[in-house]
Structures are given as C-alpha cells and as structure tokens.
Amino acid sequence: AQKVTQAQTEISVVEKEDVTLDCVYETRDTTYYLFWYKQPPSGELVFLIRRNSFDEQNEISGRYSWNFQKSTSSFNFTITASQVVDSAVYFCALSELRGGADGLTFGKGTHLIIQP
C-alpha cells in the first residue's frame, strides 16, 4: 500500500530564512506521481508541483525548489527567503497509475509559520 510521511508537524521560522519541508513516500509501483499542495487559511488546496517517477531532475520555480531522490524515496520542498504569505499547511501527495480510482494519498501536512 502507498504511504506518504511528513514528519514535521509544524515549522516556525523568521521571514527571509530558508526552510525545507520533508516528504518520504512508500510505493510498490515503478510508475507514480508526486505532488505538493499548499493549503492557505481559506481551505482550498492549491497545486504547486507534479513530478513523475522517471524524472529525477530537481525543479526551481522562483523561491520554490524541489529535490526528488528515488534512492531515499524523498521529495523535499524548499522555500528560499521565506515570506509571511508562505504561511500555510503544505501537503505532499502520491498517486499510483492505476486509473486514479484511489485518488491521491496525502501526508499529514506540515504547518509552516513564517514570522515577520
């Protein structure tokens, strides 16, 4: 069975600090997809990134970067020069390519607090 672990329940940093959110996953499939979502106080989950299991290239998007390491089954998310607006709950998720009937498997989320 698939599983996603986000060991950090809550992280609090001061604005402008860099912060890394950890995500470790388990799956038996060789083809799978990994995601990060942001959940602001308004509640909706906002899609940040999608990665397939065959693409281990790291990705950078502005202040956001993602490090995918199949050898350690990790897909970590780093925010550089954090800002107060980054405060939210961040979820890592996994999807196996079996028609999508299982939806996405989510981690418990990491509550990120950026203090001014």
Partner 1 sequence: ETGVTQTPRHLVMGMTNKKSLKCEQHLGHNAMYWYKQSAKKPLELMFVYNFKEQTENNSVPSRFSPECPNSSHLFLHLHTLQPEDSALYLCASSLDLRTGALGYGYTFGSGTRLTVV
User: Which residues sit at the interface with partner 1, rule CB under 8 A?
Assistant: 4, 9, 33, 35, 37, 42-47, 50, 91, 95-109
Q: Which is nearer to partner 1, 62 or 100 (CB)?
A: 100
The closest alpha carbon to 67, from 116, 25, 22, 9, belongs to: 22
Smallest gap, in angstroms, from Cβ of residue 14 to partner 1?
Answer: 25
Q: Which is nearer to partner 1, 38 or 82 (CB)?
A: 38
Q: What angle do CA 48, 75, 78 make, to 5 degrees?
A: 60
Residue 75 neighbours by CB distance under 10 Å:
24
Evaluate the CA torsion angle 8, 109, 20, 11 in order and state its sign: negative
Smallest gap, in angstroms, from Cβ of residue 57 to partner 1?
Answer: 16
Q: Which is nearer to partner 1, 24 or 104 (CB)?
A: 104
Smallest gap, in angstroms, from Cβ of residue 44 to partner 1?
Answer: 4
DSSP three-state, residue 84: helix
Asked whether the beta carbons of 115 and 15 are under 8 A apart, the reply is yes
Smallest gap, in angstroms, from Cβ of residue 115 to partner 1?
Answer: 22
